[in-house]
Structure 1
């Protein structure tokens, strides 16, 4: 069982070592370091097995040392050579015998006997030109290592949460997501610890949440031995640190231990390995902490319930933070305590008002445990779940949903379940639960619950991309709860977006400026800062948007909400995409995806995947682009804020691959949706009109393109929105060129570029220049077209958009001004014919070639007829074959 468990999640590490073994050209040494139970033995076992099965390799030598081997000369060498007398000649004969790489694996190498180590080093030095990789596993701290040689260290860390889940699944155990994170963090991903706890604890443990996991018995035995070796002061200090929160200063632990001179005890405790001092070199810098969660659990079990309870009661009188003080009181209280429960409830509400939802959730849950009144207990359980959702912990909240659903129906219960539905992207369910909550709430007796429901309607309308409805519900929430309440602040932090989507961007800007000035600190400030950044991005204030969104992301470390951090990461990545900082954008996308997975919030995933799809498709990374768009489709719920970016992502791939018919099919549903979704109609929020209009023009649907563009051009002009107007002029310029009004087309493209002047939107500038150049070339303005397309090419090149760099180069080649005679070939094809030939030879249809070169399918067929005549060919297959033949020559 240990072999299976320890191997799970090690594929990447094994592949790394195997690749090094295959590429080795002389003797190299690698030391695998890892704590007890991390899986070093199984790692080496599987490594040697894989090496043996690999093609083109030499010998695979294996040995496992032990402490008794240290006194037995040549013991490990005899294992390696499988020879009774071992010897350097036997080992030398095996090294590079076939000329292929040899792998020597030695497990527990700290126990290798002197003679074996000496022989190994001598032989490998004498034959260092033979391809040999020596891999030795050791458990820190280690003494003897190969000396005089370059040795690389490879640290084997704990396995990740997905691997832990697989270990459990192989044992027939399905871990609740919250418990999975708990188990992984508690054990550090150490496979031995994971397997032991999975095997030893009752099966029902793993389907619950909030369970405090114990330490395995062998860890408890080891910790007990180390504790008994400590002096009384050192043991008291260790026990105190296990009682206190890691955020508490060392002085609190010293006071709890009752020590007057703590430094000697501190040194002794650190030497025992039960605590760590970090990197401190002086007492003033000491940051004493338990060495790991298992040691904390082991020490508490050794102390016993009575001693632990007494220590928590003493700690409650020493700590200064109210929440931590009450935590100690709760930990020391085994039965219900209504007074303490009321105090916890009061503190939880105050923490909620500050936006510290995760802390509030814990306080509400503790209050519920200490509450004897069943009705009040149910309310506090529901408030705990609601606070978890506000903090963005859908996984933790979902674990308690069955309990909440079993409770009697109340407005709060319905509002909380609606909140979870919103974060999971389930619009229909959320609306049903919100409507029910609103119908049964008593506005006189429960004004705070009514305000909470109104605020949930605000969120519901935010992700529906509604404007007037969002503002209406925000006003209700603020009126009922007050502008300083949690519901009021949350509503105000979103209200500005509703104003912008209702055609009142100036009011929205003013409101956010006032809000962020009023709420500068604390977790609530994260909401206002993120909302302001989102608004600024929509209104072309790109530099300020980036600054505020970066600030909102960083506020997560100051008690902010995972939910808000996700939105901030999604819109920050979009900002970075538009400004050309694509590598950083992808980094933030990955951060957001990881956060979405751990939190269980699905709302922002399509936004993240939209940006990733755009970058990958423009770079020509088609597999990554398809993977991103599939992920976007996987997470699509029935909210508009999920559906819209999913469609835009699919359209982005289609446009990058010049499949304009697919662009049209993908985006045409937005024409109908825009009538019901204000954010789609307001300029600057969702860039779809120009993309669809461009596809319509290239597909020859000129009247449809004109009808689509006209109303959006008017509203963009009315709002004075620069980037939206520029994108619409990109499409309008295409349309004017297609209808033959080249002079007006030139003016329109130039106006679009002027609008973008001063805005850091490099991608938009590149797109406008590219369309401008194509239009000029089609009109026969080849020299002017070359200059504009050359500009587009440089912009796309700076972005790393290889897909469009190649297109620009084809356009320049099709223009014919920069071709040498050798590039024209022996048979005189025109530049346009040469471009058609290249694309047809790649297998593109006439319609696809037409879309790529911005000409009509009839023109493509005309060119093909002339190409066949010039080259003496009769079909597309012969043309492709002739190109392959000429390429081979």
Structure 2
């Protein structure tokens, strides 16, 4: 019998150094087994070495379950067991109760009559009792205590806790413990577990569904319950546990189809959208006759795979299959899904009027939805219609609900939308915060494709302000490659970031080369969102290479740019949003051969910027407007806009852009104003690093959290010291505290 909970939950999640160590110790270990070993290690390299050294060939191949405790013969295992052996019987019993349920609070232990007996173990340094939990030291000691106890003692502990939790109104947790104590099949308990798990938090619900499968003789119920257990484990962020549970699903057709849908979803988050698409489409085909909601979910995910693979020409077929399931009387979350499918089909087909109408219906329906996954889709619709503020608000609701429900796997998905919205709105600091947190959570929950996309967003954000080192490091860490169909989302973001660096650093022809293949993609290929967002930079780069004149004749490049700009122009017009209308007018200005028309478009862009709050984008428009006026030999008119651009870029600490505006202002015959910010103000990146130092983080820990190298952190920290006039980390901590 498998026990109720996974152990080592209070341990640090597997970080890059431990993963590298395990790979060196046991090359080729299956991902689920590696994750289980890392979780058991609890962040301790000594535990990792001890466990890895005792893996059997069957465990290495993944055909037998991974180890659940320290080996008996290892030195750490011997020390742990020796420390436990000298404790009084009552203390060992109390430790077993604490180990039986990682969520057990001291108050629940008190109700079980075991709290006082823990004092001896606490004095021995084996546990730390806080107001909310009992923490074992080392973390792996929890597993040693539990699995070293005789089976009868473990069952008795589960029975005792079931009684305590029942009296406290914790029905689901009580049932799980009762199931762990059961011997043989129990159909009534199986049904009770299924009923209670429906509204439970994912991690506990996963255990409940698993026990429901183990306690029934009904093969269909057992298979369906095991898939449900795997899905809840996936939502709880326990990717490896979900994989292990899926291996136990029987060959019952409906259960295998549902398992295929979940496997396809996990494959999508792990980075192979083409494989995920095929798995999800196959699962949907098998589910349609039996489970329409599950079939629709599989088709929605297949559509997302099509988008991430950059092959939106295939979306029409996915949409056709999904919309064929619609009846017309669906509840709000399902109606929202159908409207989104119809809207995306229209968007990919270039039918913008239909697309905008359907996607705005999605935003309207989102007000009646309280499901995180549906809200994330609605937030994505907000991005597609250019309503970035609404997208950010919906993603925020999804994050709050997902965290409250324990559906931690969905949180980084919502944070990705938040980062995209902040990037589009010009709120770069908020976008950086969302993408940094999202990448860390995506890594912790087993979603490497999402990690790469968030790193791509971070690379773009760094490039926008001219931070070459951070941009290049994040592009390298993303490691994003092309799909068979062309650039996937992460690759497209990284290419956009590198093209932006070229633009910032004065290499517009290189920008045209990079963005030309990305934006002017083959029909029905590429990443739609990046193509739209990068178009203004492509237009600017072409203008900087060769501004249009009245005598300019048509050429192949101009024709290609026309094909690119026309859908961008129609899309931005359809949004009705000031930020996007400003970029549309800026691009029209840069493409205008007539000086008067260009000036009118620039002034319209500035009027639209005034309706919004994107200071960076406004400064960028003023830089280009001033540069255009100076080129047309109107230096006096240019100075006003260039001075404003200089001041804003300095305020936003976008040094390379400020330097460009400085050059243009000097060329327009005006002295460059002194920088009022002085040299002692920290950039946003430096401020973030200084705060982490003040919180006690090491350079390596900061580097891992911000997805930078320790050498880069050291470089930033030296600049922080210089700007603040401090000489040590101790002085910095005091300065930040003041």
State the TM-score, normalized to the length of structure 2.
0.73
Which residue in 2 is equivalent to 1:202? 56
Structure-2 separation of matches of 1:277 and 1:585 = 38
Query: Alpha-carbon deviation of 1:393?
Result: 5.2
Which residue in 1 is equivalent to 2:447? 601
Which residue in 2 is equivalent to 1:240? 97
Which residue in 2 is equivalent to 1:411? 257
Task: Find 2:15's aligned residue among 146, 153, 161.
Answer: 161
Which residue in 2 is equivalent to 1:215? 70
Q: Is the 8 A contact 2:385 2:575 kept in 1?
A: no
Matches within 5 A, 1:107-118: none
Q: Is the 8 A contact 1:579 1:762 kept in 2?
A: no
Which residue in 2 is equivalent to 1:516? 367
Which residue in 2 is equivalent to 1:332? 181
Q: Mean alpha-carbon deviation: is it higher for 469-478 or for 160-169? A: 469-478
Q: Is the 8 A contact 1:578 1:762 kept in 2?
A: no
Query: What does the per-residue CA deviation read over 1:368-405, in whole Å, with 9 as the maximum and x for residues that have no partner?
Result: 44455666544444444445555565554455666669
Q: Is the 8 A contact 1:499 1:508 kept in 2?
A: no
Query: Are residues 1:778 and 2:626 paired?
Result: no
Query: Are residues 1:651 and 2:499 paired?
Result: yes
State the TM-score, normalized to the length of structure 1.
0.62
The change in CA–CA distance for 1:540 and 1:296 in structure 2 (over 3 A counts) is same
The change in CA–CA distance for 1:462 and 1:597 in structure 2 (over 3 A counts) is same
Query: Are residues 1:629 and 2:483 paired?
Result: no
Q: Is the 8 A contact 1:772 1:788 kept in 2?
A: yes
Secondary structure of 2:164's aligned partner: coil
Which residue in 1 is equivalent to 2:709? none
Q: Is the 8 A contact 2:630 2:668 kept in 1?
A: yes
Query: What does the per-residue CA deviation read over 1:269-297, in whole Å, with 9 as the maximum and x for residues that have no partner?
Result: 4324343222xxxxxx5744544533322
Q: Mean alpha-carbon deviation: is it higher for 742-751 or for 372-381? A: 372-381
Higher RCO by CA contacts (8 Å cutoff, separation 6 or greater):
2
Which residue in 2 is equivalent to 1:676? 524
Matches within 5 A, 1:785-796: 785-796=638-649
Query: What does the per-residue CA deviation read over 1:336-359, in whole Å, with 9 as the maximum and x for residues that have no partner?
Result: 5555444444444x24xx8x5555
Which residue in 1 is equivalent to 2:123? 271
Query: Are residues 1:729 and 2:585 paired?
Result: yes
Structure-1 separation of matches of 2:250 and 2:511 = 44
Structure-2 separation of matches of 1:473 and 1:210 = 39
Matches within 5 A, 1:524-563: 524=371, 526-537=372-383, 539=385, 541-563=387-409
Structure-2 separation of matches of 1:793 and 1:361 = 56
Which residue in 2 is equivalent to 1:589? 435
Query: Are residues 1:252 and 2:108 paired?
Result: yes
Query: Are residues 1:191 and 2:39 paired?
Result: no
Structure-2 separation of matches of 1:673 and 1:392 = 36
Query: Alpha-carbon deviation of 1:720?
Result: 2.4
Which residue in 1 is equivalent to 2:533? 687
RMSD of equivalent CA atoms: 4.2
Secondary structure of 1:299's aligned partner: helix
The change in CA–CA distance for 1:497 and 1:229 in structure 2 (over 3 A counts) is farther
Matches within 5 A, 1:431-442: 431-441=277-287
Structure-2 separation of matches of 1:516 and 1:678 = 32
Q: Is the 8 A contact 1:689 1:709 kept in 2?
A: yes
Task: Find 1:420's aligned residue among 266, 276, 282.
Answer: 266
Q: Is the 8 A contact 2:230 2:245 kept in 1?
A: yes
Q: Is the 8 A contact 2:323 2:342 kept in 1?
A: no
Matches within 5 A, 1:250-649: 250-257=106-113, 264-278=116-130, 285=131, 287-319=133-165, 320-333=169-182, 335=184, 337-348=186-197, 350-351=198-199, 357-372=202-217, 377-389=222-234, 394-398=239-243, 410-441=256-287, 443=289, 445-447=290-292, 449-457=294-302, 459-460=304-305, 463=308, 479=327, 482-483=330-331, 488=334, 491=337, 498=344, 501=347, 503=353, 504-505=355-356, 508-509=359-360, 511-519=362-370, 524=371, 526-537=372-383, 539=385, 541-578=387-424, 581-632=427-478, 634=480, 636-637=482-483, 641-642=489-490, 644-649=492-497
Which residue in 2 is equivalent to 1:816? 669
Query: What does the per-residue CA deviation read over 1:103-148, in whole Å, with 9 as the maximum and x for residues that have no partner?
Result: xxxxxxxxxxxxxxxxxxxxxxxxxxxxxxxxxxxxxxxxxxxxxx
Matches within 5 A, 1:747-786: 747-786=600-639
Q: Is the 8 A contact 1:411 1:449 kept in 2?
A: no
Structure-2 separation of matches of 1:343 and 1:636 = 48
Q: Mean alpha-carbon deviation: is it higher for 649-658 or for 455-464? A: 455-464
Structure-1 separation of matches of 2:89 and 2:307 = 60
Query: Alpha-carbon deviation of 1:761?
Result: 1.5
Query: Alpha-carbon deviation of 1:780?
Result: 0.5
Secondary structure of 1:254's aligned partner: helix
Structure-1 separation of matches of 2:615 and 2:271 = 33
Q: Is the 8 A contact 2:339 2:361 kept in 1?
A: no
Query: Alpha-carbon deviation of 1:554?
Result: 4.4
The change in CA–CA distance for 1:316 and 1:459 in structure 2 (over 3 A counts) is farther
Query: What does the per-residue CA deviation read over 1:551-581, in whole Å, with 9 as the maximum and x for residues that have no partner?
Result: 4344443235444322322232334445555
The change in CA–CA distance for 1:496 and 1:561 in structure 2 (over 3 A counts) is farther
Structure-2 separation of matches of 1:370 and 1:174 = 35
Task: Find 2:515's aligned residue among 667, 670, 673.
Answer: 667
Bigger CA radius of gyration = 1
Q: Is the 8 A contact 1:549 1:572 kept in 2?
A: yes
Query: Are residues 1:806 and 2:652 paired?
Result: no
Secondary structure of 2:53's aligned partner: helix
Structure-2 separation of matches of 1:707 and 1:491 = 31
The change in CA–CA distance for 1:232 and 1:386 in structure 2 (over 3 A counts) is closer
Q: Is the 8 A contact 1:499 1:507 kept in 2?
A: no
Secondary structure of 2:611's aligned partner: coil
Q: Is the 8 A contact 1:766 1:796 kept in 2?
A: yes
The change in CA–CA distance for 1:770 and 1:194 in structure 2 (over 3 A counts) is same
Query: What does the per-residue CA deviation read over 1:34-55, in whole Å, with 9 as the maximum and x for residues that have no partner?
Result: xxxxxxxxxxxxxxxxxxxxxx
Q: Is the 8 A contact 2:639 2:665 kept in 1?
A: yes
Query: Alpha-carbon deviation of 1:316?
Result: 2.2
Query: Alpha-carbon deviation of 1:667?
Result: 2.9
Structure-2 separation of matches of 1:628 and 1:404 = 39
Which residue in 2 is equivalent to 1:32? none
The change in CA–CA distance for 1:185 and 1:286 in structure 2 (over 3 A counts) is same
Query: Alpha-carbon deviation of 1:810?
Result: 1.7
Secondary structure of 1:276's aligned partner: strand
Q: Is the 8 A contact 2:340 2:381 kept in 1?
A: no
Query: Alpha-carbon deviation of 1:324?
Result: 1.9
Query: Alpha-carbon deviation of 1:617?
Result: 2.5
Number of equivalences:
636
Unpaired segments of 5 or more residues in structure 1? Answer: 1-156, 279-284, 821-889
Structure-2 separation of matches of 1:696 and 1:720 = 26
Structure-2 separation of matches of 1:481 and 1:212 = 50
Query: Alpha-carbon deviation of 1:423?
Result: 2.7
